[in-house]
Chain A
């Protein structure tokens, strides 16, 4: 049963609450009002009673009537007339002994009343009001002594208002109040229905329980994803920011309801708006971190209600990209090697079938020599397995492209320090060699690429040389910039920028020397950070 109360819909809850509230307020106010009202009615009855009694007691005709044989004859009509005028329930005049002279019920006239209630008037000439049931019923009565010209007390006037009647008039008043109250309750009910509907509209028809569940789920989801996420409203105020976003942007504290530029200072509004419509990504440097933002606008129907910005650390992305590219390259390089090997096998097979066994043997011998030479160089001079791997792959690739790839025999490289990661190496060496291969691939005639590595001093030195056509002077300053490419293809142009970034990350430098007869890239990486 109790459970059910909390399972009720929002509308029922609001309605119940509002009605309870209005009812209690109205009941409270009505009872106060009714109480005050009845106090006023009582007080009025009391006042009118005492004033009327006084007035009658002062009337000379009333005083004179007591001298007559039968005072009632004069007094009764007078008393009844005044009773009508002041709306009293009864006016009773008694003489000193309590004999009734006027009474609304004429049968009572002439009877003797006990004078308990008249005591103060008869003995002390007092004017007063009291609660009495001596005459007609329970009533509030005003009493006044009738005094003759000798200042003696000859009788008492009693003007009474019956409680029943007072209660009835109070009830009538309360009825009126209740009509108003009912009206107010009705208005309250209608208002609360409207309110409930309105709230439901705001909550997309969801019940608070559902909203709470969604909110909990959302929090769980937000904290579980490792992308930074910031939602902003139409005024560019942050409505939501997850933990990863704070971590990436190096923020602490509560950022909800603060303008977006508090969190991402260099995200210009123009950028924001432009990217919102294109749903494109945008790269920014925040806190010396490269982040890539994706900006998507949230729409309710066709109305824009806010924007979601998701972003990730580019270094992380780069790692992934690098890993991916490494895998791709290795497989590519392996494919190249296999292809090359197959080609050579075809050649040897061809030679043998044609009976040129001498040439075939020579070719095999050559192949062995080249491979051995290369391998010897690679494996003897270059001790680092990561670099070995990269170089071996590239040798295959070069061989397929009919490019002479040489590892300089003066190379010497011990195991690299641990802080140099495979990804970075792949980025630096792989990209530079790929660029060189590509560059010389355009040439007719001799195509040479050579690789040289040395780690004798404080620095590790890699040098990649090609005999390509070189880089024009006007472009030499831009080659390391993002998006720059001499190759007019989409999605390219990050190669050298990434190389340069990786080199800088390792605290190294990169130099390029390009004449009209090829290009040499030299990379210096300090052994200690």
Chain B
């Protein structure tokens, strides 16, 4: 038995040696071109984030290797992430809270634990908007009305239920004590359609990203009555946050980056270094400004903690009706 164990130990040591010799030092990594997976069609937030990262890492010479962006659209990110889970450490993918909610809503078997989270990069905030002629001056009035009669308002959201725009509205309503099971959501194909519906007066309220609503609000086409950020947003100083309106909630729509499962310490350290450098560049800051994104950088270690926390929050939000029978 002793003999057997010592043989086993030797084998294990040999194996470890083989493994570590395969990745001697971070100066060896990366050995080939980097692949950046955008789990969506070109043109969206994920695609934009991926291409921005590619450009900055090349322009600033932070990474020597070539970086290729690959679009893998489908299943709210599912297709791209399934693809990533079978790649090696030279592939990364952009992610968002969908990596958590897809799993919680039974759309995907994969969750953040099946990957190596590397960083949270940015966040967008979510706005609640009403038509110009709406009787609601603020979000509290909307919630009061819904508390009275949850079915009384048509709420526009795109592109489907269970996304951040939807979840943030539900969380706010739930926090306020609204029976969210009766809410009347109108589902549209895209943010553009939501804007159109709001402008056309087809809906009473809309929930969408600040980047989608800010322009119309500034132009006076409709009114933003609440944002999900912790502080008022630059350029929208007149709009109060949920917290200011008595709903204790901050709801970030964050985007991050992750690698395939089982990356080594060295590989994680390499990306921590690279991304840490990237978010400090002027180019990155400019990119955030142009997209109405806020910086929300967390390194790999903090990202893992953040994701655990977020997952618990989402689970609570999705599972517990908060209804008292």
Contact = CB atoms under 8 A, between A and B. Distances in A.
23 contacts: A50-B106, A96-B181, A115-B321, A116-B321, A119-B181, A119-B320, A119-B323, A120-B319, A122-B181, A123-B180, A123-B181, A124-B162, A124-B166, A124-B167, A124-B170, A125-B160, A126-B162, A127-B105, A128-B105, A150-B186, A150-B187, A151-B160, A152-B185
Given A115-B321, A124-B170, 4 more contacts: A116-B323, A119-B320, A151-B160, A152-B186
B161 A151 contact: yes
Nearest to B158: A151
Interface residues of B, number: 23
A417 interface: no
Interface of B: 104-107, 160-162, 166-167, 170, 180-183, 185-187, 318-321, 323, 325
Interface in A112-137: 114-116, 118-120, 122-128
A446 to B, nearest CB: 90
B321 A119 contact: yes
Given A119-B181, A152-B185, A125 B319 contact: no
A125 B161 contact: yes
Contacts, number: 57
The 7 A-B pairs with the shortest beta carbon distances in the complex, nearest first, are A127-B106, A151-B187, A126-B105, A119-B321, A125-B161, A124-B162, A128-B106
B266 to A, nearest CB: 38
A476 to B, nearest CB: 70
A248 interface: no
Given A50-B106, A126-B162, A120 B181 contact: no
A122 B166 CA distance: 13
A153 interface: yes
Nearest to B184: A152
Contacts of A152: 185-187
Contact of B105 (A116, A118, A120, A151): A120
A128 B315 CA distance: 12
Residue of B105, B160, B167, B186 ringed by the most chain A CB atoms within 10 A: B105
Contact of A125 (B162, B182, B325): B162
Contacts of B182: 96
Given A120-B319, A124-B318, A127-B105, A114 B325 contact: yes
Contacts of B319: 119-120
B34 to A, nearest CB: 35
B183 A123 contact: yes
Nearest to A126: B105
Nearest to B161: A125
Nearest to B157: A151
A124 B318 CA distance: 7
Nearest to B162: A124
B161 A124 contact: yes
Contacts of B180: 123
A149 to B, nearest CB: 10
A120 B325 CA distance: 17
Contacts of A124: 105, 161-162, 166-167, 170, 318
Contacts of B321: 115-116, 119, 123
A328 to B, nearest CB: 69
Residue of A50, A128, A151 ringed by the most chain B CB atoms within 10 A: A151
Given A116-B321, A116-B325, A153 B106 contact: no
Nearest to A145: B161
Contacts of B160: 125, 151
A124 B323 CA distance: 15
Interface in A2-30: none
A119 B315 CA distance: 12
Contacts of A126: 104-106, 162, 318
Given A126-B104, A150-B187, A120 B161 contact: no
Contacts of B186: 150, 152
A353 B186 CA distance: 172
Nearest to A150: B187
Contact of B107 (A96, A118, A127, A153): A127
